[in-house]
Amino acid sequence: MEVPDFLPSILVLNGTWDKILNCLYTVFEKDFKLKQTKHEGRIVKYDNRVLPDGHGKEEGFWHVVSKDSKTGNRLVDYRRAERLPWASPLMENQQRPEIMVFDYQEGPKDKGLRRYIWLEQYNYAVVLQHRKNTYFWITAFYIDSEWKREDLRKRYEQRTT
């Protein structure tokens, strides 16, 4: 299936871990550190904390290229990571027919109004948190299971906008 013309190709992530990490971080830097990505004219911010075990990389970066493991550590999620170049274009091109954009009021665990930007046909979603004059980038992920797809579908059906 060919990706929409406004999206770059997914990344080819092979080679050493250092090479892969450098490739991913270069995209993150270009799209979110060296420029200000915007959604609906509002700046998109991310978690810029650098934790001791974060290899000098921001938490916002790790949340879009890795996932929690059962041990509590974050492990690289290659399907999620290879689509990192899609995040900024999705945030900036939400009027495209391929993209489902909706708000969902989260419950007590993830409290607040979240903006979902879902490229349903290509199994990728970006999640932003509404802030006063900005958006805060929570995560982006590849939809690799039917239960994740059903969860997003349920949120879409119960959306606030």
Number of domains in the chain: 1
Mean pLDDT of 121-145: 95
CB neighbour burial string for 83-115, b if at least 16 within 10 angstroms, e if fewer: bbbbbbbbbbeeeeeebbbbebeeeeeeeeebb
Cα 84 → chain centroid? 7
Mean pLDDT of 69-91: 89
Residues whose CB is less than 8 angstroms from the CB of residue 49 and which lie 6 or more positions away in sequence, other chains included: 58, 59
The answer to whether residue 119 is domain-embedded is yes
The answer to whether residue 9 is domain-embedded is no
pLDDT surpasses 80 at 82: yes
Residues whose CB is less than 8 angstroms from the CB of residue 15 and which lie 6 or more positions away in sequence, other chains included: none
pTM of the model: 0.92
Mean pLDDT of 59-64: 93
pLDDT of residue 1: 64
pLDDT of residue 70: 73
Containing structural domain, residue 96? 17-157
> pLDDT higher for 68 or 120?
120
Q: What is the pLDDT of residues 93-109, one digit of tens each?
A: 878 999 999 999 987 77
> pLDDT higher for 74 or 33?
33
Q: Which amino acid is at 97?
A: P
The answer to whether residue 80 is domain-embedded is yes
Mean pLDDT of 85-97: 92
Distinct helix (H) and strand (E) counts, the chain: 5, 8
Mean pLDDT of all residues belonging to the chain: 91
